[in-house]
Chain A
Amino acid sequence: MRQDRQDYGVGLLFSTTGTYAALGQDGLDGALMALDEVNSDPSLGFRLRARIENPGGVIERYHALCEDMIRRDGCRHVVGTITSLSRKEIIPAIEKHDALLWYMCPYEGFECSDNVVYTGACPNQHIVPLFQHVLPRYGARACLVGSNYIWGWEINRIARALIQPCGGEVLSERYLPLGSEDVGRIVAEIAQKKPDFILNNFVGTTSYAFFRAMRLLAEQDPSFRPEIRPIVSCNLTECELGLIGEAGIGHLSSAIWFEEAGGPENAAFVARAKARLGGGRRPSAFFTGAYAAVRLLAEAIREAGTDDVAGVKPVLTARSFATPAGRLSIDPRTNHATLTPHLGRIAEGGRFDIIESAPEPMAPDPYLVHFDPDRLAALVAAARQAGDVPSSAPDARPTA
């Protein structure tokens, strides 16, 4: 092995403490697993040097830490940020220094920076397929909840735009500050409104408290059991199931990767990840996403012969790459990834049963340019005609 391998700095910016620490920890762990694999690969002529920072979920810390990574440590690539709030906070620094941010979370779309690679799902890859499954089966009367920042606001706005053409109804739309566990009034309102389903855009501890309170509600009123009125999410993964516990079982989430998705290569990856994580921890889409981002970065540096953004970007968009979630390609027009969305139902033991998968990888559509609301409306209308959708009178439905 050559001792004088070139050394490239990579910033890993994840909040591993604070209200959404579970997601940040999974992201960091995935990135580090990829980093170790890259650095122990003698065929590569370089090493990746991690500069790890933990903003602790405090939004004011992100910008300065990101600037530092780029200016002091010469990182041209930063992998990380979980919330859209923190991503938007560091993009100006990333753009100013012409660095590249690798963002691997599901997000609300309507953004397209030339200095960001978006490897997580955008709305046509999460909420649209989620609603295509949920609305025809459970009905189109919804309560929308979310953490009080752009992710919740925008996903709920999109939800409204999907629900209305279907003749559905948004019965309530409520927000709580990040970190709040004060879900009582919102759950009381849901108990009274009896929606067909609840769209959950809470993040971190708020989400866990909400699931637990909804579980108590379902114990009092069986018509709130998940098979009748599910809580559906676009960002819930394995890494939070332990924190939610029993209360999550039966509810639904969309993700671009679940443990059972994919073939033998994925299974081998899962085994490696579990061995590395230890303690019964399972990898999640956040872990896998960060892992894939770092592996992709290393491949691109190898091919480009430099970590210069101008050299790396053309490689990324020129071909597809193998990842645990399948072949991944980056659309050169939008810098977003082509991905295969899955829908999972939370099962016992901290895992998801996959109940539906897109038949093929879906091109990203961050501005929902190609989404046709009439198609969803037709699906719902057909289900209604077939009698599959519950009557709009909430009390007319059977209780479990």
Chain B
Amino acid sequence: MTNARVTIPNFRNWRAVVLHRPSPTTDAVLRQLERLGIQARALWPELDAESAEADVIFFDADMGFDEQFPWPPGEAPVPLVALVGSEAPGRLEWVLARGAGAHLMKPVSSGGVYSALVIAGHALRQRGALAGEVRSLRDRLRRRPQVASAVLRVMTAQRIESAEAMQRIRRAAMEHGQSIEDYCDALLAAPEAEAARAGLKPGKP
């Protein structure tokens, strides 16, 4: 069996909120959460102050509304699981806008909560990791002009081709334990003469 190893977390001592009216579905979700060692509470219609501490929120996709959540759509800091009854497109649109990472169809009985938890948790982690990566790529993109200027300066000072200049910069950045962008900033900030002489030894900015 091929198996990309994703670690399945243990949910012991997690706290969960089930944002749903009292119903057999609410009871079933609470019961399943308890089996997983999760402390779970049902609330409706509003989250309380303590909910900010929750590790996961199950919410009603049928009767839910934006004002229930203390954060903007799509920016939930915890995994969200939608409890879906009506599959009306408008409701699903709203579920997606809230940023649900998984869903369960109502009525909920014995199964589904565990996989929803695993999948929603994974989706949130993955989204966080991707957002971090996008942030860092955007930052590098923004600083590309400085890198180009630094390459030019090294080309001129050392009388070498651009590829060679880039390679030296990369190597020097690595030796200094800096990112290429930080290294280039420092290089450009150093006095011209010194930078030209040292070529690849910028002073600390």
Contacts and interface: CB of A to CB of B under 8 A. Distances in A.
Contacts of B1: 148, 153, 175
Contact of B35 (A148, A153, A334): A334
Given A148-B1, A153-B1, A369 B10 contact: yes
Contacts of A111: 111
Given A175-B1, A370-B12, A114 B37 contact: no
Contacts of A370: 12, 37
B148 interface: no
Interface residue range, chain A: 10 to 19
Contact of A369 (B11, B32, B110): B11
Contacts of A369: 10-12, 35-37
A95 B108 CA distance: 12
Contacts of B12: 369-370
B71 interface: no
Contact of B36 (A115, A153, A367, A371): A367
Given A112-B32, A153-B1, A368 B10 contact: yes
Interface string A324-357: 0000000001100000000000000000000000
A366 B35 contact: yes
A112 B111 CA distance: 7
B109 interface: yes
B194 to A, nearest CB: 51
Contacts of A366: 35
Nearest to B28: A114
How many B residues touch the partner, as a band?
10 to 19
A220 B37 CA distance: 49
Nearest to A149: B1
Tell me if A's interface is mostly helix, strand, loop or mixed.
loop
Nearest to B37: A369
Contacts of A113: 110-111
B133 interface: no
B110 A367 contact: no
Interface string A75-112: 00000000000000000000100000000000000111
Contacts of B31: 333
A112 B35 contact: yes
Interface string B31-73: 1101111000000000000000000000000000000000000
A95 B10 contact: no
Nearest to B32: A112
A367 B109 contact: no
A367 B35 contact: yes
Interface of B: 1, 10-12, 31-32, 34-37, 109-111, 114
6 contacts: A112-B111, A114-B109, A115-B110, A333-B34, A369-B10, A369-B37
Given A369-B10, A370-B12, 19 more contacts: A111-B111, A112-B35, A112-B110, A112-B111, A114-B109, A114-B110, A115-B110, A148-B1, A153-B1, A333-B31, A333-B34, A367-B11, A368-B10, A369-B11, A369-B35, A369-B36, A369-B37, A370-B37, A371-B10
The 8 closest A-B pairs by CB, nearest first: A369-B37, A113-B110, A114-B110, A369-B12, A367-B36, A112-B35, A334-B35, A333-B35
